[in-house]
Amino acid sequence: MTSSTTLRPVPRAGVLAIDAYVPGRSKAAPGRRLIKLSSNETPLGPSPEAVAAFRGAAGDLERYPDGAATALREAIADVHGLNPTRIVCGNGSDELLTLLAHAYLAPGDEGLYGEHGFLVYKIAILAAGGTPVVAPERDLTVDVDALLAAVTPRTRIVYLANPANPTGTYLPFSEIRRLHAGLPGNVVLVLDAAYAEYVRRNDYESGIELVSSSENVVMTRTFSKVHGLAALRIGWLYGPEGVVDALNRTRGPFNLSAPAIAAGAAAIRDRGFLETAVAHNARWLPWLTAEIEALGLTVTPSVANFLLIHFPDKAGRTAAEADEFLTGEGIVLRRVAGYGLPNALRMTVGDEEANRATVAALAAFLGRGR
């Protein structure tokens, strides 16, 4: 018999090629108030109705949740005018992005995304045994021609965040339609619309109509951003019957907890709260952009609830040094070197105090040694 010391479990190909996702930091220097602007969380918290629904679920914790998340799917369907049977809920939209890769990629199949695409796409593709293929972007924006040029007979899935994270840029929907028209019908086009609620552009669409009128497009959404429920892990997908069926076969049978189902349903029905959160962003996103540019830094025009700030590649002024300085001030932004953006930091729009403190700290950083 082979000795147990010579044989050990080995993960299959691809698993050890994964760099585990690194979440935005959430610690400040000891004893300091933390201003956490590193994970695109809302400064307004969740709707009070969602919190009440969450608390209301505390009396039944011995019971399994509804595995079909019916109350949540019906609330989403009501609000968005959708067929609830075409909605799948997930433990965060990350779970849905991952399930899609597992359902549609066989070993050696290719999953495609843009150069600065959300890191979860690469992790999901590798974890499913697929091969990640990266298409270049243009001006920090997804380039439809480059994506189409990267399609091969092995391509089975394309991930596209619109708006994109971490750049904050977006594609007008005519470009998404052009992408869809150029893809073979056996490729799943995943429109990750995590920041859709924030966008105020006439040429933007989240993708609902395209999903309704095609067999190979899905749209994913999340409760982690504008709805302020990141801790509960709630995402949803709207898709064609075939994709919905595949995901319902492969997801965990109780992938959403009962408190999450209850809180999510209450949150999405509270339209007044959503409008307040969107209005807050609409006020502070342009303010931050203007103030930070006035300091001499470049900001990529964003339509989401965060901005990408570019620093000079000059000792004493770099993104890494700015990050260190800000952290010392108790302000945590997101480093994005892992996204191929070593000279930038991503900042989430915070509350008024956080926004003003960050601009002041950036001014102090740039003013050092002048």
Ligand X SMILES: *Cc1c(COP(=O)(O)O)cnc(C)c1O
- Interacting residues toward ligand X by CB under 6 A: 40, 92-94, 118, 161, 165, 192, 194, 222, 224-225, 230, 235
Q: Which residue is nearest to ligand X (CB)?
A: 92
Q: How far is the CB of 245 from ligand X (least distance, A)?
A: 22
CB 47 within 8 Å of CB 266 = yes
CB of 7 to ligand X, least distance (A): 37
Residue 116: CB minimum distance to ligand X, A? 11
97 or 362: CB nearest ligand X: 97
Please compute Rg for the chain using Cα positions.
21
Please work out, in degrees rounded to the nearest 5, the angle formed at the alpha carbon of residue 328 by the alpha carbons of 46 and 25.
Answer: 40
Our CB check for ligand X shows the closer of 167 and 216 to be 167
CB 339 within 8 A of CB 268: no
By C-beta, is 251 or 365 nearer to ligand X? Answer: 251
Q: How far is the CB of 194 from ligand X (least distance, A)?
A: 4
User: 360 vs 245, 291, 295, 364, CA distance in Å?
Assistant: 51, 10, 10, 6
- Of residues 194 and 266, the one with the C-beta less far from ligand X: 194
Q: Which is nearer to ligand X, 235 or 259 (CB)?
A: 235
Distance of CA 163 to the CA centre of its chain: 9
* Minimum distance of ligand X from residue 235's CB (angstroms): 4
* Residue 13, C-beta contacts closer than 8 angstroms, at least 6 positions apart: 107, 129
How far is residue 223's CA from residue 257's CA, in Å, rounded to a whole number? 14
Going by C-beta distance under 8 Å and a sequence separation of 6 or more, which residues neighbour residue 126?
14, 15, 17, 18, 132
Q: How far is the CB of 97 from ligand X (least distance, A)?
A: 7
User: Which of residues 144 and 357 has its CB atom nearest to ligand X in the complex?
Assistant: 144
- Burial of residue 149, with CB atoms counted within 10 A of its CB: 0-12 exposed, 13-18 middle, 19 or more buried: exposed
Q: Angle CA(16)–CA(22)–CA(27) in degrees, nearest 5?
A: 145
